[in-house]
Amino acid sequence: MTAETLAGPQTHAFEADVARLLHLMVHSVYSDRDVFLRELISNAADACEKLRYEAIAAPALLGDDPAPRITIALDARERRLTLEDNGIGMSEAEMGETLGTIARSGTRAFLDRLGAAKEAEGAQLIGQFGVGFYSAFMVADKVEVFSRRAGSDEAAVWSSDGLGTYALGPVDATEAPARGTRIVLHLMADAADYAEPHTIRRIVKAQSGHVPVPITLVEQPGAEASEIADGTALWTRPRAGITPAEYEDFYRSIAGQFDAPALSLHYRAEGRYEYNVLVFVPETRPFDLFDPDRKGRIKLYVRRVFITDEAQLLPRYLRFLRGLVDSADLPLNMSREMIQDSPILATIQKGLTSRVLSELEKTAKDDPEKYAKIWDNFGAVLKEGLYEDFERRETLLGLARFKTTASAGAWRSLADYVAAMRENQTAIYYATGTDIDRIAASPQLEGYRARGIEVLLLPDQVDAFWVTAGLDLEGKPFKSVTQGAADLALVPLADGAEPPKAESSAEITGFLAFVRDALGDAVSEVRASDRLTDSAVCLVAPEGGLDKQLEKLLAGAGQLPATARPVLEVNPAHPQVTRLAALAEDDPLRGDAPHLLLDEARIADGEALPDPRGFAARMARLVARIAQA
Ligand code: ADP
Ligand code: MG
């Protein structure tokens, strides 16, 4: 094909999201522009690994150039940086798809966060969200991409100034690499430094020293290429020779994050199957931690060939780990779908899971402070294992940490809890909600406090689920303080005083019956409470029903038609109650009292009132009466 027969490049508008992303990229992410190089190198390395994988089935794709390679060529005079790989390459159609749109689901979240983020956070976000390629526009005012797909004679060029449009069209094959992709960055004046060899050496060493493809540098036009990274896979080297800084760099490049690992685990398994593991617990929460698909991000290699990052190598409750597994036993020519069902993978998953959990146990024991930070970040995810992984629930209960009514903001283990249990205490008590401080202020906790009984405060969504999974610890079941009768009578008060008698005067008993009749279907029961000291009333869920918090969650998710009717518990010793009970039969306040009590309990629970006008009217009558007296 000659130049004349080729149609000229066509101009296309970027998808709206890309345009917005580029705008933000150029205008707000100036703090750490070095990351663009890591992103381009990581794409080039991915392209080499994809080719290695496709060449297993079609070795001809490698032709006479089998060794993967990334070359960076600099031209300081022209202010130009060129990055070339001999990987899989892209067809013209592929370039249009991948370099003009944003396919990834996390991108919407990225854009929102980037818009709101301070400049310093912006660069961090790029790495976390993997919008890598476009970061080239942080340093270049024109980017050209020449590419040729492996096995194809046709080449194409994509170019853009990052201002809303790009041009895409075929290009004479002699202008493109024989295979793979060449990216030419025309650097902005204030980014001229990126055409300097020492800058590039420094960045590659810091960010990409351990990509599994060798990187060479051509310092200026016509100069000899010299190797600046050797492409040895870090995970195949013996642990003793690897420095913490090397692990940290590797973590950043494989995880696409800018923090440091909180925990590194590197070992070689040599049982029935052989595999290398190098995984990390991040120091901060990855952005996609609570994505609904709950996907893991551990990469699978087979004898150093990257296979997939879709394999489920860890259970979902360990999805916050980053890193890779390199198996010696999986066949290279197995389809990715079949790999997932392979018994070898199942064995690896089992071994890796146990190993990760025992590493966490070890950290919890040897370095509680470090473990507390890990739990801060990932506890809510680990707790999913309590109802998803029954085989390991004891281990997971052992790893779990809680804020409690006795912990003063620190994490407590269940072993701590059990050791502090009161005489005659029959259960491990918990209260769920959305906010620790609000849970801690619930009236339902008063009777437990008065008896010195510790209550676990559970603020995470996941808590509503695992507590109902029938777990117990040393025979003590988990029991909600907002559900069923409180059975506290047997536990003495903390100051040694006699607990108030729940059995009360005939007047109170009669009043409770009156309240029950007046409230009708709004409640399932009205009863005297032994869980209240300072408050007059509270709501609890009936025995055997759903916990109130879980009920709210399910109702919110549309999975529950109507909430079950709650129990109204009344504190028979509270002056508000004794005085209302003593009102004359024909006192107009008596008719309002049951509704006022119920609404008071609802408000204490942070619930919306079903009849706010009715409440306001009763309140107005009450205030008028007090003012008159
Ligand atoms: P990601 O790497 O997370 O997919 P990027 O924005 O870095 O996102 O890249 C977008 C896509 O562009 C890649 O998924 C890949 O399909 C394509 N791409 C980018 N650089 C190259 C390259 N050097 N060779 C082949 N394909 C590439
Ligand atoms: Mg990328």
User: Would you say residue 297 lies in a domain?
Assistant: yes
Mean pLDDT of 396-400: 97
User: Would you say residue 58 lies in a domain?
Assistant: yes
Mutation pick for ligand 1 pocket among 15, 37, 43 (CB with most ligand atoms within 8 Å): 43
* 219, 114: one domain: yes
* 200, 299: one domain: no
Pick from 229, 253, 285: which residue ends a domain? 229
User: Would you say residue 416 lies in a domain?
Assistant: no
Half-sphere exposure of 493 (CA within 13 A, CB side): 14
Q: Is the CB of 87 under 6 A from ligand 1?
A: yes
Nearest CA to 584 out of 504, 503, 514 is that of 514
Q: How far is CA 142 from the centre of its chain?
A: 36
361 Cα to the center of ligand 2, angstroms = 34
Tell me if 140 sits within 8 A of 185, measured CB to CB: yes
Q: What is the pLDDT of residue 4?
A: 47
Mean pLDDT of 168-191: 96
Shortest-distance ligand to the CA of residue 147: 1
Residue minimizing CA distance to atom 11 of ligand 1? 98
Tell me if 196 sits within 8 A of 72, measured CB to CB: no
475 Cα to the center of ligand 1, angstroms = 54
The first and second tokens of residue 546, run together, are 């759903």
User: Would you say residue 313 lies in a domain?
Assistant: yes
Q: Look at residue 31 and tell me whether its pLDDT is greater than 80.
A: no
Q: Look at residue 341 and tell me whether its pLDDT is greater than 50.
A: yes
* 268, 316: one domain: yes
Q: What is the pLDDT of residue 515?
A: 96
130 Cα to the center of ligand 2, angstroms = 6
Tell me if 161 sits within 8 A of 142, measured CB to CB: yes
Q: Is the CB of 88 under 6 A from ligand 1?
A: yes
Q: Is the CB of 145 under 6 A from ligand 1?
A: no
Tens digits of residue pLDDT in 103-155: 555 566 667 766 666 655 665 666 555 567 888 998 999 999 999 999 999 99
Q: Look at residue 30 and tell me whether its pLDDT is greater than 60.
A: no
Residue minimizing CA distance to atom 16 of ligand 1? 98
Q: Is the CB of 249 under 6 A from ligand 1?
A: no
- Locate the ligand 1 atom nearest the alpha carbon of residue 83 and give its number: 23
Q: How far is CA 364 from the centre of its chain?
A: 21
- Locate the ligand 1 atom nearest the alpha carbon of residue 39 and give its number: 7
Tell me if 298 sits within 8 A of 309, measured CB to CB: yes
Mean pLDDT of 378-382: 97
Q: What is the pLDDT of residue 178?
A: 96
CATH of the domain at 140: 3.30.565.10
Q: Look at residue 562 and tell me whether its pLDDT is greater than 70.
A: no
Q: Which one-letter amino acid corresponds to residue 75?
A: D
Q: Is the CB of 181 under 6 A from ligand 1?
A: yes
Q: Look at residue 379 and tell me whether its pLDDT is greater than 70.
A: yes
Element (H, E) at 107: helix 106-116
- Locate the ligand 1 atom nearest the alpha carbon of residue 85 and give its number: 23
Pick from 229, 258, 283: which residue ends a domain? 229
Tens digits of residue pLDDT in 234-249: 898 999 999 998 899 8
CA-based radius of gyration for the chain: 32
The first and second tokens of residue 274, run together, are 């052989």
Q: Which one-letter amino acid corresponds to residue 57?
A: A
Q: What is the pLDDT of residue 565?
A: 86
* 213, 255: one domain: no
Angle at 553 between CA 549 and CA 556, to 5 degrees: 135
Which span out of 6-10, 38-42, 223-227 was modeled with the highest average pLDDT?
223-227
Q: What is the pLDDT of residue 1?
A: 42
323 Cα to the center of ligand 2, angstroms = 16
* 124, 266: one domain: no
* 345, 280: one domain: yes
Phi then psi dihedrals of residue 243, to 5 deg? -85, 155
* 214, 241: one domain: no
Q: Higher pLDDT residue, 77 or 111?
A: 77
Element (H, E) at 143: strand 140-148
88 Cα to the center of ligand 1, angstroms = 11
Mutation pick for ligand 1 pocket among 21, 133, 253 (CB with most ligand atoms within 8 Å): 133
User: Would you say residue 330 lies in a domain?
Assistant: yes
Q: What is the pLDDT of residue 499?
A: 55
Burial of 561 (0-12, 13-18, 19+ CB in 10 A): exposed
Q: Using 50, 70 and 90 to split pLDDT, how confident is the model at 309?
A: confident
**3-state helix/strand/coil string of 229-258:** ECCCCHHHCCHHHCCHHHHHHHHHHHHCCC
CATH of the domain at 247: 3.30.230.80
Tens digits of residue pLDDT in 595-613: 999 999 999 888 889 999 9
Count of beta carbons in the 10 Å neighbourhood of residue 77: 9
> How far apart (Å, rounded) are the C-alpha atoms in residues 298 and 158?
32
User: Would you say residue 202 lies in a domain?
Assistant: yes
Tens digits of residue pLDDT in 279-294: 999 999 987 888 888 8
127 Cα to the center of ligand 2, angstroms = 9
Tell me if 361 sits within 8 A of 338, measured CB to CB: no
Q: Is the CB of 90 under 6 A from ligand 1?
A: yes
Q: Using 50, 70 and 90 to split pLDDT, how confident is the model at 321?
A: very high
* 168, 122: one domain: yes
Q: Which one-letter amino acid corresponds to residue 210?
A: H
> How far apart (Å, rounded) are the C-alpha atoms in residues 472 and 386?
11
> How far apart (Å, rounded) are the C-alpha atoms in residues 531 and 551?
21
User: Between 612-628 and 588-604, two packed helices, what is the crossing angle to 10 degrees?
Assistant: 120
Mean pLDDT of 395-412: 94
Tell me if 312 sits within 8 A of 296, measured CB to CB: yes
User: Would you say residue 419 lies in a domain?
Assistant: no
Element (H, E) at 13: strand 10-13
Q: Is the CB of 47 under 6 A from ligand 1?
A: yes
What Å distances lie between residue 201 and 7, 30, 72, 265, 501, CA to CA?
A: 40, 21, 10, 28, 78
Q: Look at residue 2 and tell me whether its pLDDT is greater than 50.
A: no
Q: Which one-letter amino acid corresponds to residue 360?
A: L
* 251, 177: one domain: no
> How far apart (Å, rounded) are the C-alpha atoms in residues 100 and 15?
6
Burial of 560 (0-12, 13-18, 19+ CB in 10 A): middle
User: Would you say residue 502 lies in a domain?
Assistant: no
Task: Provide the domain limits for residue 221.
Answer: 3-229
Tens digits of residue pLDDT in 470-488: 888 888 999 999 887 777 8
Q: Is the CB of 30 under 6 A from ligand 1?
A: no
Tens digits of residue pLDDT in 577-600: 999 999 998 998 999 999 999 999
Among 77-86, 348-357, 546-555, which is the least confidently predicted range?
A: 546-555
Tell me if 89 sits within 8 A of 158, measured CB to CB: no
What is the 8-class DSSP label of residue 295? -
Q: What is the pLDDT of residue 119?
A: 56
Count of beta carbons in the 10 Å neighbourhood of residue 535: 22
Q: Using 50, 70 and 90 to split pLDDT, how confident is the model at 47?
A: very high
What Å distances lie between residue 533 and 424, 479, 509, 530, CA to CA?
A: 20, 20, 18, 8
Mean pLDDT of the chain: 88
* 285, 185: one domain: no
Contacts of 623 (CB under 8 A, 6+ apart): none
Tens digits of residue pLDDT in 496-540: 666 555 456 888 999 999 999 999 999 999 999 888 989 999 998
* 102, 217: one domain: yes
100 Cα to the center of ligand 1, angstroms = 11
Pick from 229, 253, 288: which residue ends a domain? 229
Tell me if 155 sits within 8 A of 147, measured CB to CB: yes
456 Cα to the center of ligand 1, angstroms = 47
Shortest-distance ligand to the CA of residue 45: 1
As a whole-number percent, the residues of the chain with pLDDT over 70 amount to 89
Sign of torsion over alpha carbons 388, 394, 399, 401: positive
- Locate the ligand 1 atom nearest the alpha carbon of residue 183 and give its number: 23
* 115, 212: one domain: yes
Burial of 186 (0-12, 13-18, 19+ CB in 10 A): middle
Nearest CA to 251 out of 266, 241, 239, 240 is that of 266
Q: Higher pLDDT residue, 54 or 334?
A: 54
Q: What is the pLDDT of residue 464?
A: 87
Q: Is the CB of 98 under 6 A from ligand 1?
A: yes
268 Cα to the center of ligand 2, angstroms = 28
Q: Is the CB of 130 under 6 A from ligand 1?
A: yes
Q: Is the CB of 41 under 6 A from ligand 1?
A: no
> Structural domain tally of the chain?
2
Q: Is the CB of 43 under 6 A from ligand 1?
A: yes
Q: What is the pLDDT of residue 3?
A: 45
